[in-house]
Structure 1
Amino acid sequence: MSHPTAARFTLLALLGVSLSPAFADETSAGGASIGESFSIAQAEYDQALALTPDLENGRRTYLTCAVCHRPEGWGTADGTYPQIAGQSRTVIVKQLADIRARNRDNPLMYPFSLPRILGGPQQIADVAAYVAQLPMTAHNGQGPGIDLELGGPLYAEHCAKCHGERGEGNETDHIPAIAGQHYPYTMRQFDAIREGRRKNSDPKMVKQIHGFTSREQAAVLDYASRLPLPPEKLAPEGWTNPDFPAYVREPMGLPPMPTISPAPPSGMMEIPPFPSLPAYPTTTTPER
């Protein structure tokens, strides 16, 4: 595990990539100490990366992920779910291992990451390789674009050294790619780190984030959301994932409601009539 310097921490843990031993005595949401959670996550990370990925099994495993991240892995432009398509394999493995070891708190994703749902280290290796090869959309959620003159220099000073000048990340050091990521998602993660809700954030990173004003935060993340993607990573316009031919794509970009198969018996899903209120006796005011 690398120990980055302060300059690395502006956006380094937007997807959670490091843990300082300073947290070793704290307790995770699962009851284990943070140090124990880190050790569990690191062991599974090492194990998964040592395995040979099976893309076909990764496609099957990704069915669990597609519920929220969508078949293309593009998430949602409002930032509810991040774009994971094209993300480095090491980053995907690291996040899955961290979340299920409770080394990174993510209540929404935690149930989907459990071994009984997602599988073991082989399935992590497989799905990470599958996600990494998915083409990305350039139509990610972006910021307002009103302060890019400030965001550009901030990115060059604080972020480019680790995340790359083009936001491509670093696979060797499992530093996430941030080009193409949704602006609302990075804003939310930035806030979570600053407020201490990202338990695997390095204290030096938290300290540096506290030095950013709200304007600087918005400006640098807006700039990052507009970094151009390399042509080889872009999906063709109108592309849909052919591995999910039966997926119903709905208007307005909202996830479809799950279908029930087989259909429930007639009347089971109907709302019963509201029971009528009992009749209460009327009262009269006695004459005086």
Structure 2
Amino acid sequence: MMLTTPAAAADKAAGWNEGGGEQDEALHLTPNLENGIEVYEVCAACHLYEGWGQPDGTFPQLAGQHRHVLIKQLADIRALNRDNPTMYPFALPESIGGPQSIADVTAYIATLPMNPEPGRGPGTDLEHGKQLYKDNCVRCHGEHGEGVEEKYYPRIQGQHYNYLMRQFAWIRDGKRRNANPDMVKQIQEFSDKDMAAVLDYVSRQQPPADKLGVVGWENPDFK
């Protein structure tokens, strides 16, 4: 069995998001929002026209996510760097187009107002969750889960609790191959109780008012 040396682990952590390929190409293209709307119609079958996903966590909320994050994740799925067999066929160039379409659709998704009523946790251990978040998550995801676009740290505020739970468990347990190794290391000792508490707290972090839609909003671009 090949053992991972500290130097190799450090190299992996430094290179988890080296980019290249479609990721870099899409980042440097000028988005066409009209085409983004057309491309997004493919995505809407699962993520809904509003980009709000499903509270049961089947599909995440995409609306309002940082464009850099969206580009990276879509490019990773297409390059088989992130396992998502449900989405993979819909993300292929023959379904949505090439790097220009990635640039277009991600720019469009980033403009969508966010769901003001995402799926939240049970609210039973919030103080523990708040402390865990302060001790482990603030450095990358920010005080309120706002993330950092330039560093590809996602906005996790306003995300559905059940989706957060699934992704956190996969990252902690080594099942999400494009996860930031720094995060894997940071959360590897979290128990299931810790995970539920911190994500319950995260699910209650409200995005800024200018990012939120109104209850019952319907996307006028698809009327």
Q: Same fold (TM over 0.5)?
A: yes
Q: Distance in 2 between matches of 1:135 and 1:223?
A: 22
Instruction: With the length of structure 1 as denominator, give the TM-score of the two structures.
Output: 0.70
**1:252 maps to what in 2?**
none
Contact 1:38-1:101 at 8 Å conserved across structures: no
**1:50 maps to what in 2?**
28
1:210-251 Cα deviation digits (max 9, x unpaired)? 211111111100100000121101112321001111xxxxxx
Match of 2:212 among 230, 234, 240: 234
After TM superposition, the structure 1 = structure 2 runs for residues 136-285 of structure 1, keeping only pairs within 5 Å, are: 136-245=114-223
How many Å apart are 1:21 and its aligned residue?
A: 4.8
1:53-112 Cα deviation digits (max 9, x unpaired)? 011000000011001000000000000000000001101100000000001111111111
**1:7 maps to what in 2?**
none
Letter paired with 2:32: D
- Across the aligned residues of Structure 1 and Structure 2, the Cα RMSD in angstroms comes to 2.0
The change in CA–CA distance for 1:140 and 1:211 in structure 2 (over 3 A counts) is same
Contact 1:42-1:97 at 8 Å conserved across structures: no
How many Å apart are 1:203 and its aligned residue?
A: 4.0
Q: Distance in 1 between matches of 2:138 and 2:180?
A: 18
Q: Distance in 2 between matches of 1:22 and 1:52?
A: 31
Q: Secondary structure at the match of 1:82?
A: coil
Instruction: With the length of structure 2 as denominator, give the TM-score of the two structures.
Output: 0.90
Letter paired with 1:177: R
Letter paired with 1:142: R
1:105-131 Cα deviation digits (max 9, x unpaired)? 111111111111111010000000000
Q: Decide which structure has greater helix share.
A: 2
**2:112 maps to what in 1?**
134
Q: Distance in 1 between matches of 2:184 and 2:214?
A: 38
The change in CA–CA distance for 1:80 and 1:20 in structure 2 (over 3 A counts) is farther
1:23-76 Cα deviation digits (max 9, x unpaired)? 9xxxxxxxxxxx9x987x632111101000011000000011001000000000
Q: Distance in 2 between matches of 1:160 and 1:54?
A: 34
Give the unaligned 5+ runs of structure 1.
1-18, 24-34, 246-288
Q: Distance in 1 between matches of 2:100 and 2:35?
A: 9
Taking every aligned residue pair, what percent have the same amino acid on both sides? 57
The structure that has the greater radius of gyration is 1
Q: Secondary structure at the match of 2:150?
A: coil
Q: Secondary structure at the match of 2:52?
A: coil
Q: Count residues with an aligned counterpart.
A: 214
**2:4 maps to what in 1?**
none
Match of 1:109 among 87, 91, 101: 87
Give the unaligned 5+ runs of structure 2.
1-8
Q: Distance in 2 between matches of 1:228 and 1:74?
A: 14
| Superposition misfits of 4+ residues, deviation over 4 angstroms | 19-23
After TM superposition, the structure 1 = structure 2 runs for residues 23-102 of structure 1, keeping only pairs within 5 Å, are: 42-102=20-80
